Structure 1
């Protein structure tokens, strides 16, 4: 992570599950770095929102997380069935709600299958991709506990 000792984030989650940790650290202005295992992601805000536009916004990463999860599940389906993955894409767009609280109101994902995908496999590909972990989480939201350290 960042070399600091991990803090306990609360006890509301079941103790028998694996806990995945990441840390967000302020860089400057509206820019932050997210440390995930040995990976580092940057986030920022666009110029018109007061940021420096050096990286995607957290909301864009939410949409990207869903899109990449859908792509991953689709890719695994293709691999499992010995079908080509070349050309697989997921196009995504989202809109923000016009009222408060600030939130995403609509997400649209279009799975573009590989050109060689047989017609009889298309429905199955979409069904599997629609059951990805991020999609499931958005449909059955987790309990969220936000705390301030003492």
Structure 2
């Protein structure tokens, strides 16, 4: 398969399993799948793991860039994420009041000789990573059949 132009991702069945898909970017390929318990072959992370990985990696990269630019002695940022669904009525800061909604819990561990002010600045900048901003804003997904 040819690699797409920058900014485009192609996902297609790999032929290796019921749900196994191959993801192709400009310079990389990888597999995504469902776990065996869901009928997959567990040939790669599942779609929600990829979503969490996108947010976590963007958060860590944003923290690294900010620390480097500001001279903050951040040795490493480790980001742990979890996705679940909760009842809207149990959410204090949500606009939705009924039904279920998705919740992503993100824990950030900062390593380095950091003072309280540096830690606070890093935690504030975590919410400014581009993927966080995308997931927190209104998203329009346009779907159409190719070639039509």
* Cα separation, 1, equivalents of 2:120 and 2:134: 22
CA shift, 1:77, in A, is 1.2
CA shift, 1:142, in A, is 2.5
The answer as to whether partners of 2:83 and 2:102 remain within 8 angstroms in 1 is yes
The answer as to whether partners of 2:4 and 2:26 remain within 8 angstroms in 1 is no
The answer as to whether partners of 1:33 and 1:43 remain within 8 angstroms in 2 is yes
Structure 1 residues 115 and 67 mapped into 2: Cα distance closer, same or farther (>3 Å)? same
Secondary structure of 1:108's counterpart equals strand
* Cα separation, 2, equivalents of 1:81 and 1:124: 10
* Cα separation, 1, equivalents of 2:13 and 2:77: 35
Secondary structure of 1:77's counterpart equals helix
Matched, 1:26 2:40: no
CA shift, 1:5, in A, is 8.1
The answer as to whether partners of 1:35 and 1:41 remain within 8 angstroms in 2 is yes
Match of 2:2 in 1: 3
Unaligned runs of 5+ in 2: 88-99
CA shift, 1:85, in A, is 3.6
Match of 2:113 in 1: 116
Listed one character per residue, the Cα deviations across residues 88-125 of structure 1 (whole Å, up to 9, x for unaligned) are: 21111111468xxxx97111111111131222111110
User: What is the total number of aligned residue pairs between the two structures?
Assistant: 133
Matched, 1:107 2:94: no
Unaligned runs of 5+ in 1: 7-18
Structure 1 residues 85 and 42 mapped into 2: Cα distance closer, same or farther (>3 Å)? farther
Aligned CA-pair RMSD: 2.2
CA shift, 1:145, in A, is 0.6
Of residues 56, 71, 82, the one that matches 1:67 is: 56
Matched, 1:126 2:115: no
